[in-house]
Chains A and B, each alone.
Chain A
């Protein structure tokens, strides 16, 4: 049965895959992980800054789904949204327990090298990116999660509101506040300082 199913995995909807995974299909859970595992992992990694913790939480999220698959209701939201919601709850629990906030060192030097900017501009741009990146890391968690989900994961306000369990208006206002804080950080970047002076 599973061999026959293997070929169709990619065209199936999440809800169908969830049902098949509940019946014990390794291929179906593999496909679900391929589709949504990265998002859950990225989100948790950005939030906690610890790769091993992010991996553990991702694993726990999927295992929680396998243990209680009936808790996912397809009509209430997308599977990815539901997974992210669980990941967020797990993350908050752990962070409250451990109170660990680690910076993301692994991505410090990954800067877009493809641009054709001059050395001064490149330096400024790099400085701006670094400032924003470290700014995101330093944001309080309730703002950080909004920036990650809305800006980095490019989820809609509705999806984010479902994940966070807050109204859409709250998501918007939090994002606005987070962006204002990040923009304020750019004042220290030379190019922006020059622009500010010109204005």
Chain B
């Protein structure tokens, strides 16, 4: 290390001491403390406020959505299914015709534009195409106050469960049938559509 380097190191150490005596301005410290406390208070109050607009916004959105849905449904009613086979609920028939003996009152009734023909007692499986016939299995059941017509495709063989007479040759065939079901879930009458 030559003299120049020694002098440089000495000079640097003096400047270093001088440099390290420089203190940070206290005005900045005060400003920072004030900034921290005020911004924290501001953010705290903002945190308290934010749920209100969100709740109001959500409520408003919900109301708008309900109104829009209702409006849309009013303008565009749901289309009728083309093949209401499985569990389609039909307009309810006038149960007066079911409750009373269909033979003594063969009048025709209308319910919501759907024609329910007079129900006849079951005789055989072929004679009841197009007409409702009371099921032998429903004998002794109380007359329902409300009934539902359920259309379904079943095997002719299954009609035996309801007390109908089905020849063995026609047993494997499937047929579209409409059942009049009471509010207790039990079938009262049946009609073969096809």
Chain A residues within 8 Å of B, Cβ to Cβ: 21, 23-27, 29-30, 33-34, 37-38, 40-42, 45-46, 55, 58-59, 62-63, 66, 107, 110-112, 125, 128-129, 131-133, 136, 148, 151-154, 179, 182-183, 186-187, 189, 191-192, 195-196, 199
- Closest Cβ of chain A: how far from B100's Cβ, in Å? 82
> Number of B residues contacting the other chain (C-beta, 8 Å)?
35
Q: Please determine whether A41 and B24 come into contact, CB atoms closer than 8 angstroms.
A: yes
What residues of chain B lie closer than 8 Å to A131, measured between beta carbons? 11
What residues of chain A lie closer than 8 Å to B16, measured between beta carbons? 151-152, 154
| Complex alpha-carbon distance, A60 and B17, angstroms | 26
Kindly identify which residue among A25, A111, A132 contacts B36, using a CB–CB cutoff of 8 Å. Answer: A25
Q: Please determine whether B28 and A55 come into contact, CB atoms closer than 8 angstroms.
A: yes
Q: Is B173's beta carbon under 8 Å from chain A? A: no
Q: How many A-B residue pairs have CB under 8 A?
A: 120
B17: nearest chain-A partner, CB-CB = A112
- Closest Cβ of chain A: how far from B56's Cβ, in Å? 28
- 0 or 1 for each of B27-48: is its CB under 8 Å from A? (1 = yes): 1110111111101110110000
Prevailing SS type, chain B contact patch: helix
Q: Please determine whether A37 and B7 come into contact, CB atoms closer than 8 angstroms.
A: no
Prevailing SS type, chain A contact patch: helix
Q: Please determine whether B32 and A29 come into contact, CB atoms closer than 8 angstroms.
A: yes
Mind listing 29 A-B residue pairs with CB under 8 Å?
A: A24-B37, A24-B39, A24-B41, A33-B28, A34-B29, A38-B23, A41-B24, A42-B19, A58-B25, A58-B28, A59-B31, A128-B7, A128-B8, A129-B11, A129-B14, A131-B11, A132-B12, A136-B15, A148-B19, A152-B15, A154-B16, A182-B8, A183-B5, A186-B4, A186-B7, A191-B3, A192-B4, A192-B7, A199-B2
A39: nearest chain-B partner, CB-CB = B24
B29: nearest chain-A partner, CB-CB = A33
Q: Please determine whether B20 and A62 come into contact, CB atoms closer than 8 angstroms.
A: no
| Complex alpha-carbon distance, A191 and B43, angstroms | 63
| Complex alpha-carbon distance, A40 and B22, angstroms | 11
Q: Please determine whether B24 and A40 come into contact, CB atoms closer than 8 angstroms.
A: yes
- Closest Cβ of chain B: how far from A114's Cβ, in Å? 10
Q: Which of B3, B10, B22, B31 has the most CB of A within 10 A?
A: B22
- Closest Cβ of chain B: how far from A1's Cβ, in Å? 12
| Complex alpha-carbon distance, A55 and B28, angstroms | 7
What residues of chain B lie closer than 8 Å to A133, measured between beta carbons? 11, 15
